[in-house]
Structure 1
């Protein structure tokens, strides 16, 4: 019974996100909107973490398998990726450096105040 409730909550959030994306035309994938809906439900206490824990653990356990269709789908866009390889590399490198700097400053600030 726990798996059914857990799966139902996750799927309701997913379909709500898909519906919001479809009706609003937002340039954000519906699955991401669904994740935000689930996050808000968890933070506000509308949904308890124990209610979705079993399905989330199952999805995380098989996460590598879930990336296979995405990887295969990227093969349709190899030309686009090749044409924009420098931009993709620069944005990946730049965002990594920014994340490392922000985390370093946050840890330094945290340790300094402790």
Structure 2
């Protein structure tokens, strides 16, 4: 029953994203609206992490299964993809390395910032 309640909360936030997509004339996917709403709700405490944690973990665990329809769709449209295979492959490789590099740099910046803040607190305590 707990999973059902948590999943319904996630679906309600997704529905809110769908409603925003229908009402706001911007080229932003409804899923992005939903993720922003979920982020804001979690930050403000409107939704507690414990209210969606188990269902969220479950959805992350089964995420690879969700790529099967996309893979089948690619196989079904192979004749169309063959003509643009080289540009799509180049763009994909460039995008992968760009995302990896930016994620790594941002992660290192956050780690260094936390480490510096921790060192500042430690040195402040030692001085006192």
Same fold (TM over 0.5): yes
| Alpha-carbon distance between aligned partners in 2 of 1:65 and 1:50, rounded to the nearest angstrom | 25
Q: Which consecutive segments of 4 or more residues in structure 1 shift more than 6 A?
A: none
Shift of 1:105: 4.3
Q: How many residues align?
A: 114
5+ long unaligned stretches in structure 2: 120-128
Higher-Rg structure is 2
Partner of 2:105: 101
TM-score by length of 1: 0.76
1:59-81 Cα deviation digits (max 9, x unpaired): 12211112212333344463545
1:19 and 1:96, CA in 2 relative to 1: closer, same or farther beyond 3 A? same
What RMSD over aligned residues (CA atoms) do the two structures have, in Å? Answer: 2.5
C-alpha offsets along residues 35-94 of structure 1, whole Å, 9 cap, x if unaligned?
A: 211121111111111211232122122111122123333444635453333233223323
Gap change, CA 1:95 and 1:5, over 3 Å in 2: closer
Q: For structure 1, which runs of at least 5 residues remain unmatched after alignment?
A: none
Using structure 2 for the length normalisation, give the TM-score. 0.69
- How far apart in 2 are the matches of 1:112 and 1:51? 33
Aligned-partner Cα distance in 1 for 2:88–2:81: 10
Tell me by how many angstroms 1:104 deviates. Answer: 3.4
